[in-house]
């Protein structure tokens, strides 16, 4: 399995506090814990690369794509965003993380506003496990806790097909923090945690959920839909 982690990689260069948490960028931290999985090849791509590092070749060879973006969503070219969308429809798994709720490919795939409430005060978040039998929740107990940015409902998404985690926030809100959808032949897992000013990607539970999510999103096929003419399989008698 070949995994690509995309990161806009801007905060880490501009903000000392973020750089201390993720010295080589969030993508490298994620690559670090994913690459310890037996047999997984992990690559990275960033906004500043040609075609944001997501050329046709790179995407064609990617089984599961993770995406972290925040302040530079608008700098992602429409062409690359649509290329990612198309690859998901062909079967590539896709894990948008945290502020990627507003990433172009995620919005293209879901079709909705993906809006939410937010508050960046580092309060306590408790993620409740609603589906202890789901492979994405494997090894996760009844709940786990972080200190994080708050995201609050209503979250402008199509009804998730599976609602795996719901967050409780100390400040009084709730949020659908782990959601899956199938789009085309690809599987999508949105996972809420991961604000750049918090060490969430160093958290054991977060790492486990992301690892589980990548496994779950592994493609089974690579199918490019077309719209073919079809000859009849049975004799037909047109209207007279």
Rounded Cα distance between 161 and 56, Å, is 29
Residue 77 near residue 47, CB atoms below 8 Å: no
By the rule CB under 8 A, 133 interacts with its own copies: yes
Strands 174-183 and 162-169: antiparallel
Length of the chain measured in residues: 240
Question: Interface residues for its own copies in 56-85 (CB under 8 A)?
Answer: 85
Binder of its own copies out of 72, 152, 208, 215 (CB under 8 A): 152
Q: Nearer to its own copies by C-beta: 50 or 220? A: 220
Q: Nearer to its own copies by C-beta: 53 or 186? A: 186
Q: Nearer to its own copies by C-beta: 38 or 230? A: 230
Rounded Cα distance between 135 and 217, Å, is 10
By the rule CB under 8 A, 236 interacts with its own copies: yes
Quick one: which segment of 33-41, 43-51, 53-61, 216-224 binds its own copies (CB under 8 A)?
Answer: 216-224
Contacts (Cβ under 8 Å, ≥6 apart) of 229: none
Q: Nearer to its own copies by C-beta: 48 or 120? A: 120
By the rule CB under 8 A, 44 interacts with its own copies: no
Quick one: which segment of 9-17, 31-39, 63-71, 150-158 binds its own copies (CB under 8 A)?
Answer: 150-158
Rounded Cα distance between 16 and 158, Å, is 37
Rounded Cα distance between 42 and 5, Å, is 7
Binder of its own copies out of 20, 77, 82, 135 (CB under 8 A): 135
HSE-up (13 A, CA, CB side) for residue 25: 18
Rounded Cα distance between 76 and 47, Å, is 7
Structure tokens at 177: 């923090």
By the rule CB under 8 A, 147 interacts with its own copies: yes
Backbone torsion region of residue 119, taken as left when φ is above 0, otherwise alpha when ψ lies between -120 and 50, otherwise beta: beta
By the rule CB under 8 A, 203 interacts with its own copies: no
Binder of its own copies out of 181, 189, 190, 191 (CB under 8 A): 181
Binder of its own copies out of 53, 184, 193, 194 (CB under 8 A): 184
By the rule CB under 8 A, 202 interacts with its own copies: no
Question: Interface residues for its own copies in 106-125 (CB under 8 A)?
Answer: 108-113, 115-119, 121-124
Name the phi and psi angles at 112, rounded to 5. -115, 180
- The DSSP H or E segment spanning 20 is helix 16-21
Question: Interface residues for its own copies in 155-174 (CB under 8 A)?
Answer: 155-156, 158-159, 161-163, 166-174
Q: Nearer to its own copies by C-beta: 31 or 106? A: 106
Rounded Cα distance between 134 and 179, Å, is 12
Binder of its own copies out of 60, 79, 154, 204 (CB under 8 A): 154
């Amino acid at each position: 399995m070949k995994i690509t982690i995309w990161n806009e990689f801007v905060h880490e260069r501009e903000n000392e506090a973020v750089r201390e948490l993720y010295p080589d960028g969030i993508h490298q931290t994620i690559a670090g814990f994913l690459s310890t999985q037996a047999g997984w090849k992990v690559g990275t791509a960033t906004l500043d690369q040609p075609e944001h590092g997501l050329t046709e070749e790179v995407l064609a060879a990617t089984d599961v794509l993770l995406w972290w973006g925040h302040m530079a969503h608008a700098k992602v070219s429409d062409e690359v965003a649509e290329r990612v969308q198309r690859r998901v429809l062909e079967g590539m798994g896709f894990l948008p993380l945290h502020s990627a709720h507003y990433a172009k490919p995620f919005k293209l795939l879901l079709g909705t506003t993906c809006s939410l409430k937010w508050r960046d005060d580092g309060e306590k978040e408790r993620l409740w496990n609603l589906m202890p039998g789901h492979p994405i929740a494997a090894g996760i107990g009844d709940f786990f806790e972080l200190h994080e940015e708050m995201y609050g409902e209503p979250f402008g998404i199509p009804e998730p097909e599976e609602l795996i985690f719901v967050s409780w926030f100390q400040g009084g809100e709730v949020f659908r923090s782990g959601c899956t959808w199938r789009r085309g032949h690809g599987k999508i897992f949105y996972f809420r945690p991961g604000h750049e000013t918090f060490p969430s990607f160093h958290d054991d539970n977060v790492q486990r959920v992301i690892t589980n999510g990548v496994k779950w999103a592994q493609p089974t096929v690579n199918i490019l839909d077309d719209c073919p003419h079809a000859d009849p399989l049975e004799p037909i008698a047109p209207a007279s």
